[in-house]
Chain A
Amino acid sequence: MDLKTIKAYIPSILFFSLFFPFGLLIMLGSVASAEFSTYVVVGTITFYISVSLINSVAQSIGAEREYGRFSLMISSGIPVQLYALAIAFSNGLQTILVSPIIILSGDLFLRIKPDCIPLLAITLILSIFLGSMIGEALAFAIKNIYAINEYSNILSFTLAFFAPVYYPPCSVPMPFRYLTFLEPTTYISRAIYYSYVGMPKEALIWDLGIVIFTLVLIILINYLHKRS
Chain B
Amino acid sequence: MNIETPIIIRHVWKYYGKFLANEDINMTVNKGELVALLGPNGAGKTTLVKQIYGELTPSKGEILVLGSKINNKVKKRIGVILQECTPSGSLTVRDNIYFMAKIKGLDKEKAKKNTEELLDKLNLRQYEKKMTRDLSGGLKRRVLLAMALVNDPEVVILDEPTTGLDPEARREVWELLAELLTTHYLDEAERLADRIYFLNRRIIMEGCPAEIKSKFTTYYEVIDYSSGKTFYVKEEEISQFLNGLKGKFEVRLPNLEEIYLKVMENA
Contacts and interface: CB of A to CB of B under 8 A. Distances in A.
Interface of A: 1, 4-5, 8-9, 67-69, 71-79
A77 B78 CA distance: 10
Contacts, number: 66
B90 interface: yes
B99 A1 contact: yes
Question: How many of chain B's residues touch chain A, expressed as a range?
Answer: 20 to 34
A68 B49 CA distance: 14
B88 A77 contact: no
Task: Say whether chain A's binding surface is mostly helix, strand, loop, or mixed.
Answer: helix
Interface stretch (B79-87, B204-212, B227-235): B79-87
Given A1-B88, A4-B95, A76 B131 contact: no
B75 interface: yes
Given A8-B131, A76-B100, A76-B104, A69 B75 contact: no
Interface of B: 50, 53-55, 72-76, 78, 80, 82-91, 95, 99-100, 102-105, 131, 147, 157
Contacts of A1: 88, 91, 95, 99, 102-103
A8 B90 CA distance: 6
A78 B99 CA distance: 12
A75 B103 contact: no
B80 A75 contact: yes
A67 B54 CA distance: 18
A5 B90 CA distance: 5
A8 B130 CA distance: 12
A8 B102 CA distance: 21
Residue with the highest number of chain B CB atoms closer than 10 Å, among A76, A78, A79 = A76
